Amino acid sequence: MGGPSSSPTEEAPQKSIDDWLPITSSRNAKWWYSAFHNVTAMVGAGVLSLPFAMSELGWGPGIAVLVLSWVITLYTLWQMVEMHEMVPGKRFDRYHELGQYAFGDKLGLWIVVPQQLIVEVGVNIVYMVTGGKSLKKFHDTVCPNCKQIKTTYFIMIFASVHFVLSQLPNFNSISGVSLAAAVMSLSYSTIAWGASVDKGKQAGVDYRYKAHSTTGTVFDFFSALGDVAFAYAGHNVVLEIQATLPSTPEKPSKGPMWKGVVLAYIVVALCYFPVALVGYWAFGNAVEDNILLTLAKPRWLIAMANMMVVVHVIGSYQIYAMPVFDMIETVLVKKLHFPPGLTLRLIARTVYVGFTMFIAITLPFFGGLLGFFGGFAFAPTTYFICIILGVLLMIFSSIGGLRQIILQAKTYKFYS
């Protein structure tokens, strides 16, 4: 049903382009696809930094922040699921379409797209680093006496998988990768807290704040808020995931989508709470910003957990890259009038994967990056529906994360 402005002849090519673009090309997903896409989008490597975040927050505030984040993000997610089809006869298939509806065509794009791109490209870069570091940890654990290989090369090896996988056309085609990733996230979370229970509470464990000055403690606290925000962020791909579900006026997509979301959130709770609380209980403020680094033994188990992180991050990377591919391809085809097809996809996506790899190799400050990106862009897209909280979180956690990047950068050697 075209408005007066568009004739049927204009609409036919438009529809064929929409049928080709990754987000709108396939609408026959099952409700459980949305569950594991949501788990994969949300339970990132961020879960492994939760015990460290707890050490910077302390017991009381730490538990409060974890539980509040779980409740608030579930609530904001419910709102987004409801908003997907709030205008009769229209579906907001992409985050920026909702933005345009709220703020107008021009302003909506300017408000939403930069933030969404920062989040998705930011996550892809952080996941390149995580994937590379976890591969290196796997290699060093399995073969402690082998020749040392630079992290740079491991990031390249990790990227090589994505040069291939990024050619999968749409969300439904990566559902297998996504399912594997969701299973892995539950598995390595269980290993992380199970091994911590096995180690038990360490002798002389200290639950006091690590920083020696009040300023240091406050900044660490802010940065930890960013880490938690990063762990709970996954909303920027929610509308895109919902777009893959079938919908009719009698059976709107919000029913199956919400079912998937609830299941995903139960898995999130099973991953996050035990890891955060048990990890902090066992190691106190001596825990590293990735709990698997603190758990050095048993060797085979840690090697396995690192490999699971790799598989999971492969899936997460693809889920966050898909909306970016959609944006790039939309601009190339609709604005610059390139013919849609295999060549366009091959070149555009390969360039994108190469770009994220290059940035990851150049700036692998993992913990600080999480806090900075977590605050700068996750807060608006995940927490902003609770507006005041979102703004405060964005400002404070970005400051904390930036300070950590500066501190780590002092001792960092390029391409080491």
Output b/e per residue, 223-257; b: 16+ Cβ within 10 A: bbbbbbbbbbbbbbbbbbbbbbbebeeeebbbebb
Q: Which of 313, 314, 308 is nearest to 190 (CA)?
A: 308
Average pLDDT, the chain: 81
Residues 132-191: tens digit of each pLDDT: 988 998 998 888 888 888 888 999 999 999 999 989 888 778 888 888 988 988 888 888
**Least confident window among 110-114, 224-228, 335-339:** 224-228
| Highest CATH level, class, for 15-409 | mainly alpha
Q: What is the DSSP string of 318-339?
A: HHHHHHHHHHHHHIIIIIS-PP
Cα dist. 299→47, 120, 193, 195, 413 in Å?
21, 33, 16, 11, 29
- DSSP conformation class of 374: I
Q: How many residues does the chain have?
A: 416
Residues 348-383: tens digit of each pLDDT: 999 999 999 998 888 766 556 655 665 655 555 554
Helix 95-103 and helix 105-142, axial crossing angle in degrees, nearest 10: 150
Give the end-to-end CA distance of the chain in Å, rounded to a whole number.
58
By the 8 A CB rule, do 280 and 65 touch? no
Q: Which of 204, 189, 126 is nearest to 158 (CA)?
A: 126
* 258: its two tokens: 């919400």
Residues 257-301: tens digit of each pLDDT: 999 999 999 998 988 999 999 988 888 877 877 787 777 667 888
* 235: its two tokens: 């909303």
> 3-state class of 98 per DSSP?
helix
* 375: its two tokens: 């605050």
By the 8 A CB rule, do 231 and 44 touch? yes
Radius of gyration for the chain, computed over Cα atoms and rounded to the nearest angstrom = 21
Residues 210-251: tens digit of each pLDDT: 767 777 777 778 777 777 777 777 677 788 888 888 888 888
